[in-house]
Amino acid sequence: MTDDSFNSLDGGGLFPRLQQRYGLRDNPLEMETPFFPEGMRHHALEALRHLCGFGDMALLLTGAPGSGKSRLLAELVRSESSRLGFHRLPAAAMTSSNALARDLKQVARSGANPDDNPRETVYRFFRWSESRVVKGQRMVLLIDDADRVSPELLRLILDGFLAADRAKAAVPVFAGEDRLVTLLGLGDSSVSIHQVHLRPLTREEVFSYLEPRVHKAGGKVNELLSPARLARIHDLSQGSFSRLKRVTPGIWLDIVSDASKPKRSRGINFKQLRLPALALLLLGGSWWFVSQQYNETVALEQESVPEPDRVRKSITIGPDTPEAESPDEAPQPLTEPAPPPEPVSESVSESVSESVSESVSESVSESVSESVSESVSESVSESVSEPDFVPKNASRYVDIEQLRNRSKAWTIQLVAGNLEQTALSVIARYPDLEMVYTVGARKSEPWFMVLYGSYSSKAEAQKAVSRLPDALILGVPWVRTTKDL
């Protein structure tokens, strides 16, 4: 049975049958609200909100088919359309670089030269989008189902963003399956793109998703979401929203109840076992015959063979040896036995031990000195290779070691990014707030952080967050200790 047959239109669909059987007022599987925050969906939404407003990186939203990527983008547009300007690039319309250039040219309305090539048009669009920040509304490009777009077009959009001022230019948001990382040619060391991954739902999260919708539709939670039915819903949906909506009605109507249970084993058909039994019988007979032949061969080899009588002979040397020498006499050895080895003198043993100890000590000292010199040279080279940082706004800059040594160990992190201009833009936007910034390291790249305040406890810092401007609060400030900077 396929997934499509669960929601077939036979007899008006499955919902009238659900309504008749369980008395539902509405279809719980078609309710788009409320937004489901569990399964790291709320965390992903807050990350997109913050990075679209203040970030300097392109965004990558990945997940399996039906994991809720489009629903998450819709919630982002609904909640942030007042402060961000969104433009959607449909995957079906991105057939070529010329089509992409025409779409972006209509958005910019910059009156570009019609003779410009598509690459220059895309680059001009991102440079034009920098001016929107001055007007108080940053642009966001939404490319849903980006894994269906040509990799060359995706790279063209990403290159145009990287060539502009990343802290002000329109932020591209690529949404698609996990293979999108390979299509963009990204590596683990890439710092120009931030990836947000949506994992499949667990059984508990499936219950949390369906429970308020079943309750709102007037159904009985303990009946529709019993442990047995919930287990079948999770197994057949595999944690996917789209599959969950297809298979759940069939499970509630017991259409697929038998499909998830193991089938009973039928009786043994002895007719089908005749050929295997015959082959097994022939194999056993051949094995017995070979073993008998082997045993007979081994028995013949083990029969004792009479050994010939040994004749003892003697050999004499010299002309004076009498001819009637007794054969029983054993001949004398031709050479004398070697004398026993003389003991080694104490002086020789002492000299040998001294030479061995000296050579061992010299080799150990040389290896230790070489390892120490190498480690020292590496540490010195690392310390020398890092140049001193010169801040552009020295009045608002504080060295990170000075922050770590503060007596009041709590602060509020507002913004973080790879560009110093990101930090300077936020500070310039709110000159009345006593914000400072510092620089650390992340993935071997500089990491600029904008901080506000110095507090003696976490509760004091959290109270200070509530007094910040609304735009900064929407960016989800981070209350953290200065020792962890």
Q: Is the pLDDT of residue 383 over 50?
A: no
Q: Is the pLDDT of residue 382 over 50?
A: no
The residue that leads in pLDDT, 388 or 118, is 118
Beta-sheet pairing, 58-63 with 193-198? parallel
The residue that leads in pLDDT, 232 or 331, is 232
Q: Residue 302: which pLDDT band, with cuts at 50, 70 and 90? A: low
Q: Crossing angle, helix 97-108 and helix 118-134, to 10 degrees?
A: 30
DSSP 397: B
Q: Hey, what are 99's tokens?
A: 């089509």
Q: Residue 350: which pLDDT band, with cuts at 50, 70 and 90? A: very low
As a whole number, mean pLDDT of residues 441-451 equals 89
| Cβ-based neighbours of 119, under 8 Å, separated by 6 or more | 97, 156
As a whole number, mean pLDDT of residues 207-226 equals 92
Q: Is the pLDDT of residue 308 over 70?
A: no
The residue that leads in pLDDT, 113 or 77, is 77
As a whole number, mean pLDDT of residues 153-164 equals 93
Q: Is the pLDDT of residue 379 over 60?
A: no
pLDDT at residue number 264: 52
- 48-62, 173-187, 253-267: least confidently modelled range: 253-267
Q: Are 475 and 46 in contact (CB under 8 A)?
A: no
Select from 195, 189, 234, 182 the least CA-distant residue to 61. Answer: 195
As a whole number, mean pLDDT of residues 221-242 equals 93
Computed over every residue of the chain, the mean pLDDT equals 78
Q: 420-428 long-range contacts, Cβ below 8 Å, gap at least 24?
A: 420/391, 420/392, 420/446, 420/448, 421/56, 421/165, 421/167, 422/54, 422/55, 422/56, 422/167, 422/448, 423/448, 423/449, 423/450, 424/392, 424/393, 425/133, 425/167, 425/168, 426/54, 426/450, 427/393, 427/396
What tens digit of pLDDT does each residue of 427-436 get? 998 888 889 9
Paired residues of 480 in beta bridges: 411
What tens digit of pLDDT does each residue of 166-194 get? 999 999 999 999 898 888 887 654 678 99
Phi then psi for 175, rounded to 5 degrees? -120, 130
Q: Is the pLDDT of residue 42 over 90?
A: yes
CA–CA–CA angle 218, 220, 222 (5° rounding): 155
- 159-168, 183-192, 229-238, 321-330: least confidently modelled range: 321-330
- 3-7, 122-126, 463-467: least confidently modelled range: 3-7
DSSP 349-369: HHHHHHHHHHHHHHHHHHHHH
As a whole number, mean pLDDT of residues 314-328 equals 48
- How many C-beta atoms lie closer than 10 Å to residue 117's C-beta? 11
pLDDT at residue number 338: 46
The residue that leads in pLDDT, 268 or 38, is 38
Q: Residue 485: which pLDDT band, with cuts at 50, 70 and 90? A: confident
Q: Are 38 and 197 in contact (CB under 8 A)?
A: no
Matching residue, tokens 């020292």: 376
As a whole number, mean pLDDT of residues 263-292 equals 77
| Cβ-based neighbours of 149, under 8 Å, separated by 6 or more | 91, 94, 143
Q: Hey, what are 406's tokens?
A: 């503060």
DSSP 213-267: HHHHHT--HHHHT-HHHHHHHHHHHTT-HHHHHHHHHHHHTTSSTTTTSPPPPPP
- How many C-beta atoms lie closer than 10 Å to residue 218's C-beta? 13
Select from 114, 108, 217, 214 the least CA-distant residue to 170. Answer: 108
Cα separation, 156 vs 185, in Å, equals 12
pLDDT at residue number 277: 87
Phi then psi for 102, rounded to 5 degrees? -65, -40
Q: Is the pLDDT of residue 330 over 60?
A: no
Alpha helices in 31-177 (DSSP H): 41-54, 69-80, 97-108, 118-134, 151-163
Q: Residue 356: which pLDDT band, with cuts at 50, 70 and 90? A: very low
As a whole number, mean pLDDT of residues 184-212 equals 86
Cα separation, 234 vs 203, in Å, equals 6
pLDDT at residue number 355: 43
Q: Is the pLDDT of residue 372 over 50?
A: no
pLDDT at residue number 160: 93
pLDDT at residue number 45: 93
Q: Hey, what are 295's tokens?
A: 């045993």
Select from 170, 176, 139, 175 the least CA-distant residue to 157. Answer: 170
Q: Are 233 and 213 in contact (CB under 8 A)?
A: no
Cα separation, 194 vs 104, in Å, equals 23
Q: Are 146 and 88 in contact (CB under 8 A)?
A: no
Q: Hey, what are 412's tokens?
A: 């509020």
- How many C-beta atoms lie closer than 10 Å to residue 280's C-beta? 11
Q: Is the pLDDT of residue 324 over 60?
A: no
The residue that leads in pLDDT, 224 or 341, is 224
Cα separations in angstroms, 400 against 139, 203, 319, 396, 484: 32, 44, 108, 13, 10
pLDDT at residue number 208: 93
- 47-51, 163-167, 414-418: least confidently modelled range: 414-418
| Cβ-based neighbours of 330, under 8 Å, separated by 6 or more | 314
Q: Are 426 and 449 in contact (CB under 8 A)?
A: no
Q: Which pTM value belongs to this model? A: 0.52
As a whole number, mean pLDDT of residues 139-159 equals 93
Q: Is the pLDDT of residue 397 over 60?
A: yes
